[in-house]
């Protein structure tokens, strides 16, 4: 080691911070990254399976958006993933690690199902929807506020707390499933109100998932505005950046923590409503399907920009849907597509380094 040092060798690579990477340049870097990712994926596909990578890619595209129905399923799942990510964003902006999205979604879904099962036929349709939404929002809110209360009061670790709340929610759903079992012995709730479709979100503008689309897009836009231009958005940012500064500015930090988690939980609960009323029409312990965790990836990949989240959640859902297709079409394991997704994510995340830093080689520096 010591001998090396005295050899007076410069390091081969030299890394320095980039001043400011222009928007176009950043886009170009990202496009190059995706192109490289596809090339690498192609090599991997050929090496592992001997299949024509172009055909595999075509399979992915076909599976995700190949038919009108497939396209809409992809959009539907994108929307629910997007809404969870949007819901988590205010908490993350506050540096409150809400990893309890899964539980908050589940509990919202359970509340929706409870109202659907118990009040179908007893309430007029508009009122039934209001009751379902209110129940879902309230349930998610409660699930989000409990860890926030403990954080505000006793500074407990919110990561563990929200994570544990997920398991409580799952067990609670398991209990409800037994309670609402239909038909008896199936160990599932089945399709709720299959006959009269009471409490099912109706088509809007002739689109099956029209309501999902409208609700999620509006909330995405709202969250963007809320965080960027509202007073409460600023309070969240100050608390997230520095609790001391927030106190100095006369912000009641505890109120902000509780209020923000109420919003975060409420929107997760609303996702539960959309999953039950707007797509699945049933309830099970796996209903949230890991969205609470995938949404964390979506939120941070998008740097907490809700509009970027649209793209990211679409990309992830697109790849997931494509996976199912190539699994059956080429009799590959479903994990094949996850490898592709992983490689793409690796490149997309990795290219951020080249946007933020400049890498120079030894010989170039000597000349300059």
Residue 229 near another protein by CB under 8 A: yes
Candidates 11, 50, 183, 206: give the one binding another protein (CB under 8 A): 11
Residue 273 CA to residue 132 CA, distance in Å, equals 7
Only segment of 70-78, 100-108, 245-253, 342-350 that touches another protein (CB under 8 A): 245-253
Residues 245 and 241: their CA atoms lie apart, in Å, by 8
**Which of 241/335 has CB closer to another protein?**
241
Backbone angles phi and psi of 15, in degrees to 5? -115, 130
Scanning 25-33, 176-184, 235-243, 313-321 for contacts with another protein by CB under 8 A, the matching segment is 235-243
Closest CA to 239 of 230, 249, 228: 249
Both tokens assigned to 250: 């006369």
Cβ closest to another protein, residue 22 vs residue 250: 250
- Shortest reach from residue 214's CB to another protein, in Å: 22
Q: Which of 154, 231, 331, 367 binds another protein (CB under 8 A)?
A: 231
Q: How far is the CB of 35 from another protein (least distance, A)?
A: 29
CA distances (Å), origin 330, targets 50, 63, 113, 235, 314: 11, 12, 38, 52, 24
Nearest distance from C-beta of residue 218 to another protein, angstroms = 16
One-character DSSP codes across 10-48: PPSEEEEE-S---HHHHHHHHHHHHHHHHHHHHHHHHHH
CA distance 65 to 46: 24
| One of 230, 328, 333, 335 touching another protein (CB under 8 A) | 230
Looking at the Cβ atoms of 14 and 25, the one nearer to another protein is 14
Stretch that binds another protein, among 16-24, 27-35, 53-61, 71-79 (CB under 8 A): 16-24
Q: Looking at 192-200, 226-234, 296-304, 323-331, which segment touches another protein (CB under 8 A)?
A: 226-234
Alpha carbon distance 62, 48 (integer Å): 22
Minimum separation from the CB atom of position 13 to another protein (A)? 10
Residue 368 token pair: 């300059």
Query: Under the criterion CB under 8 A, does residue 23 sit at the interface with another protein?
Result: no
Nearest to 249 by CA among 261, 234, 228: 234
Read off φ and ψ for residue 353, nearest 5 degrees. -60, -45
Nearest C-alpha neighbor of 126 from the set 193, 202, 196, 192: 202
- Nearest approach in angstroms of CB 154 to another protein is 14
d(CA 257, CA 144): 10
Question: Given the rule CB under 8 A, which of 1-9, 50-58, 260-268, 312-320 is the region that contacts another protein?
Answer: 1-9
Size of the site for another protein (CB under 8 A): 34
Site track for another protein across 349-368, x = CB under 8 A: ----------------x---
Interface mask toward another protein for 304-343; x: CB under 8 A: ----------------------------------------
Q: Does an H or E element contain 273, and which?
A: helix 253-273
Q: Quick one: tokens of 357? A: 């830093």
Site membership for another protein, residue 7 (CB under 8 A): yes
- Closest contact distance (angstroms) between CB of 308 and another protein is 19
Q: Is 242 in the site for another protein (CB under 8 A)?
A: yes
Can you name the residues that pair with 204 across neighbouring β-strands?
207
List b or e across 40-55, with b for residues whose CB sees 16 or more CB atoms inside 10 angstroms: ebbeebeeeeebebee
Of 72, 119, 172, 234, the one binding another protein by CB under 8 A: 234
Residue ranges in contact with another protein by CB under 8 A? 1-2, 5-11, 14, 16-19, 229-235, 237-238, 241-242, 244-245, 247-252, 365
């Amino acid at each position: 080691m010591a001998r090396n040092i005295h050899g007076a060798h410069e390091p081969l690579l030299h890394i320095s911070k980039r001043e400011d990477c222009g928007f176009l340049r950043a886009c170009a870097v990202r496009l190059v990254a995706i192109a490289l990712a596809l090339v690498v994926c192609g090599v991997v596909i050929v090496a592992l399976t001997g299949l024509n990578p172009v055909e595999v890619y075509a399979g992915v595209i076909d599976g995700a958006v190949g038919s009108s129905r497939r396209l809409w399923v992809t959009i539907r799942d994108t929307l629910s993933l997007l809404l969870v990510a949007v819901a988590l964003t205010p908490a993350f902006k506050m540096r409150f690690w809400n990893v309890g999205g899964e539980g908050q979604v589940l509990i919202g879904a359970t509340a929706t199902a409870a109202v659907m099962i118990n009040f179908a036929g007893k309430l007029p349709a508009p009122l039934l929807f209001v009751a379902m939404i209110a129940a879902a929002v309230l349930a998610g809110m409660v699930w989000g506020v409990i860890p926030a209360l403990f954080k505000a009061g006793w500074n407990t670790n919110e990561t563990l707390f929200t994570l544990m709340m997920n398991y409580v929610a799952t067990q609670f759903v398991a209990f409800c499933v037994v309670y609402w079992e239909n038909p008896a012995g199936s160990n599932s709730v089945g399709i709720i109100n299959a006959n009269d479709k009471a409490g099912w979100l109706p088509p809007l503008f002739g689109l099956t998932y029209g309501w999902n689309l409208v609700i999620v897009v509006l909330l995405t836009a709202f969250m963007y505005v809320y965080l960027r231009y509202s007073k409460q958005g600023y309070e969240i940012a100050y608390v997230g950046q520095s609790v001391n500064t927030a106190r100095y500015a006369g912000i009641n930090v505890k109120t902000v923590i509780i209020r923000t988690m109420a919003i975060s939980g409420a929107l997760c609960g609303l996702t539960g409503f959309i999953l039950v009323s707007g797509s699945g029409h049933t309830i099970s312990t796996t209903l949230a399907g890991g969205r609470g965790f995938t949404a964390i990836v979506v939120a941070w990949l998008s740097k907490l920009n809700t509009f970027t989240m649209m793209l990211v959640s679409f990309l992830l859902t697109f790849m997931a849907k494509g996976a199912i297709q190539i699994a059956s079409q080429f009799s590959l394991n479903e994990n094949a597509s996850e490898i592709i997704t992983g490689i793409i994510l690796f490149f997309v995340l990795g290219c951020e380094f080249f946007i933020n830093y400049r890498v120079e080689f030894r010989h170039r520096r000597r000349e300059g």
